[in-house]
Amino acid sequence: MSGAPAAFLDRDGVLIEDCGYPHKPEHLVLIPGAAEAVRRLKSLGYLTVIVTNQSGVARGLFTEDQMHDFNALLIAQLAQDGGVIDAVYAAPYHADAVIERYRHPDHPDRKPNPGMLLRAIEEHGIDPSKSLMIGDQPTDVEAARRAGVAGHLFKGDNLDAFVQSLTAG
Ligand SMILES: [Mg+2]
């Protein structure tokens, strides 16, 4: 069986600056090279999938609807510069949630657990062995590892230069 390659992308600290629970339009600041990186990954044949922990929902800082609106705004902004996102998975859970329905001691979707990646692999016919994950936290790399995906830690600067270094040759 041959599945598609996917690039799993963390959101905060990878595609946008992490200002601490970004959720308002004014919080949306793209990382340098973000749209170009997504465009490059698409042109190399990768499905582009955002996988993001959003415990701000559990913490009552913003609603799930606000989160979806913010993600839609991000997708539109990336697309404006030619970076097409194929799917978004978000985990609104946290062990210390103030909102009970999002309270979970160790939700399978919350990275470092691989739930979002495994679901994307299933739903989009992705081959994890041909895929990669870019995150700015060790928990991103760990979630990738548990899903059988090669994880890479992005330490800032230009995302497109980072993607270029990962996919060269
Ligand atoms: Mg992050």
Task: Write out the DSSP string of 135-166.
Answer: ESSHHHHHHHHHTT-EEEE--SS-HHHHHHHH
Residue 150 and residue 25 in contact, taking contact as beta carbons nearer than 8 Å: no
Q: How far is the CA of 10 from the centre of ligand 1 (A)?
A: 6
Q: How far is the CA of 116 from the centre of ligand 1 (A)?
A: 15
Q: Is residue 90 part of a domain?
A: yes
Tokens representing 29 are 């600041």
Q: Is residue 1 part of a domain?
A: no
**Dist. CA 70–CA 84, nearest whole Å:** 16
Q: Is residue 42 part of a domain?
A: yes
Domain boundaries, position 143: 6-167
Residue 1 has pLDDT above 60, yes or no: no
Please give the positions annotated as active site: 10, 12
Tokens representing 159 are 């995302």
Residue 168 has pLDDT above 80, yes or no: yes
Question: What confidence tens digit (pLDDT) does each residue in 70-127 have?
Answer: 999 999 999 999 999 999 999 999 999 999 999 999 999 999 999 999 999 999 999 9
Q: Is residue 60 part of a domain?
A: yes
pTM for the whole thing?
Answer: 0.97
Q: How far is the CA of 148 from the centre of ligand 1 (A)?
A: 20
Number of compact structural domains in the chain: 1
- Residue 2: pLDDT band (50, 70, 90) is confident
Q: How far is the CA of 124 from the centre of ligand 1 (A)?
A: 23
**Dist. CA 46–CA 81, nearest whole Å:** 17
Question: What confidence tens digit (pLDDT) does each residue in 25-74 have?
Answer: 999 999 999 999 999 999 999 999 999 999 999 999 999 999 999 999 99
What CATH code is carried by the domain that includes residue 68? 3.40.50.1000
* Phi (first) and psi of residue 22, to 5 degrees: -60, 135
